[in-house]
Amino acid sequence: MIAIVLGTRPEIVKMSPIVRELQRRGKPFKIVHTGQHYSYSMDKSFFEQLKLPDPNVNLEVGPGTHAVMTGRIMEGLERVLSEMKPYETLVQGDTNTVLGGALVCAKLHLRTGHVEAGLRSYDRRMPEEVNRIVADHICDHLYAPTKLSRELLLKEGMDPKKVFHTGNTVVDAVHQNLEIAKRTSQKLKELELTNAGYILATSHREENVDDPVRFKGIIEGLKKVSSRTGAEVIYPVHPRAKKRMEEQHIDAMGLRLIDPVGYLEFLQLESRALLVLTDSGGVQEESCILGVPCVTLRDSTERPETLTVGANILAGTDPESILKASLKMLERSGKWSNPFGDGNAAGRILDIALG
Per this entry, what is the length of the chain? Answer: 355
Model pLDDT for residues 291-304, shown as the tens digit of each residue: 999 999 999 998 99
Q: Indicate whether 50 belongs to any domain.
A: yes
* DSSP symbols for 42-90: HHHHHHHHTT-PPPSEE----S--HHHHHHHHHHHHHHHHHHH--SEEE
Closest Cα to residue 103, out of 132, 134, 129, 130? Answer: 134
Q: Indicate whether 335 belongs to any domain.
A: no
Question: Do 208 and 316 fall within a single domain?
Answer: yes
Domain of 95, in residue numbers:
2-168+341-353
Model pLDDT for residues 3-19, shown as the tens digit of each residue: 999 999 889 999 999 99
Q: Indicate whether 334 belongs to any domain.
A: no
Question: Do 264 and 319 fall within a single domain?
Answer: yes
Query: Worst-scoring range by mean pLDDT, 85-89, 133-137, 254-258, 330-334?
Result: 330-334
pLDDT of 72 > 80? The answer is yes
Q: Indicate whether 214 belongs to any domain.
A: yes
Q: Specify the CATH number for the domain of residue 184.
A: 3.40.50.2000
Residues in CB range of 242: below 8 A, 6 or more apart: none
Question: Do 206 and 247 fall within a single domain?
Answer: yes
Question: Do 154 and 106 fall within a single domain?
Answer: yes
315, 297 contact by CB (below 8 A): yes
SS3 call for 146: coil
Provide the mean pLDDT of the chain: 93
Question: Do 304 and 228 fall within a single domain?
Answer: yes
Question: Do 52 and 192 fall within a single domain?
Answer: no
Q: Indicate whether 317 belongs to any domain.
A: yes
Model pLDDT for residues 225-237, shown as the tens digit of each residue: 999 999 999 999 9
Residues involved in catalysis: 204
Considering only the C-alpha atoms of the chain, give the largest distance between any 2 of them, rounded to a whole number of Å. Answer: 59
Cα 176 from Cα 208, distance rounded (Å): 31
77, 104 contact by CB (below 8 A): yes
pTM: 0.85
Question: Do 26 and 108 fall within a single domain?
Answer: yes
Report the domain count for the chain: 2
Pairing of strands 163-165, 198-201: unpaired
pLDDT of 42 > 70? The answer is no
Question: Do 185 and 212 fall within a single domain?
Answer: yes
Question: Do 121 and 227 fall within a single domain?
Answer: no
Q: Indicate whether 336 belongs to any domain.
A: no
Give the pLDDT of residue 144.
98
Q: Which helix (H) or strand (E) holds 213?
A: helix 212-229
Model pLDDT for residues 305-329, shown as the tens digit of each residue: 999 999 999 999 999 999 999 999 9
Question: Do 149 and 263 fall within a single domain?
Answer: no
